[in-house]
Amino acid sequence: MSTINTTKEDVILDFTDISMSLDSATIGELMKFHSAMESQNLQLQIQGVNKLIRTVFRLNKLDTILHLID
């Protein structure tokens, strides 16, 4: 997480090439990354989310926390 501590701009993660769902460990890491970014008044944005991952985010209400962009 030391890289996050030196980041000065928003980060966009591109999920376009991810064809499967995410496990709980990956979701946990995303949430830690999101929290670290927000603590610096920065935004983690996720683009290219497929239907399956979007459903996982929606079922866990993460679509209301994470910044998903099309």
pLDDT score of 19: 87
For 58, the token pair is 């929606």
Q: Is 67 helix (H, G, I), strand (E, B) or coil?
A: strand
Distance CA 61, CA 39 (A): 20
Cβ 53 vs Cβ 21: under 8 Å: yes
pLDDT score of 6: 65
First-to-last alpha carbon distance for the chain, in angstroms, is: 26
Quick one: 2-69 is in which CATH superfamily?
A: STAS domain (3.30.750.24)
pLDDT score of 3: 57
Domain ranges of the chain: 2-69
- From first to last of its 70 residues, the chain has per-residue pLDDT tens of 555 556 689 999 999 999 888 999 999 999 999 999 999 999 999 999 999 999 999 999 999 999 999 8
Question: Tell me, what amino acid is at 33?
Answer: F
Q: How do beta strands 11-14 and 67-69 pair? A: unpaired
pLDDT score of 20: 87
pLDDT score of 5: 59
